[in-house]
Amino acid sequence: MKQRFKPKYNIKKGDNVVVIAGDDKDRTTPHQVLSVNPTEGRILVEGVNLVTKHLKPNAQNPQGGIVKEEAPINISNVMLWDAKAKAPARVSRTRTETGFSRISKKSGEVIK
């Protein structure tokens, strides 16, 4: 994908988000973002969309076994958490001298 048409999202790695759609829907408890894949529009959230993986035995894991790990979900299914309002909030982007800053529409605070 060319840089000119790269999608822009308001969610970054390390942000706190709430899941607003899907099996893990819960608007009251925030979860941390582990990674963001903007080209696919998917996001990896801690403790959300757990899938079971069967591992074959190898040198690092001679026993093998069954492991639960997070799978990516669509970025449209999460909303940024506003710590001051203690609720999910929409975000506006404003240009500053150093770049863009994200501002919560609920409390008006800058999200770091």
pLDDT digits (tens, 9 = 90+) for 34-61: 999 998 999 999 999 999 999 999 999 8
Q: What is the pLDDT of residue 5?
A: 81
Q: So what's the pLDDT on residue 2?
A: 66
CB neighbour list of residue 18: distance below 8 Å, 6 or more residues apart: 26, 27, 28, 29, 30, 31, 78, 79, 81, 88
Please identify every stretch of the chain with a pLDDT value under 70, giving residue numbers as ranges: 1-2
Which domains does the chain carry?
Answer: 3-83 (2.30.30.30)
Mean pLDDT of the chain: 93
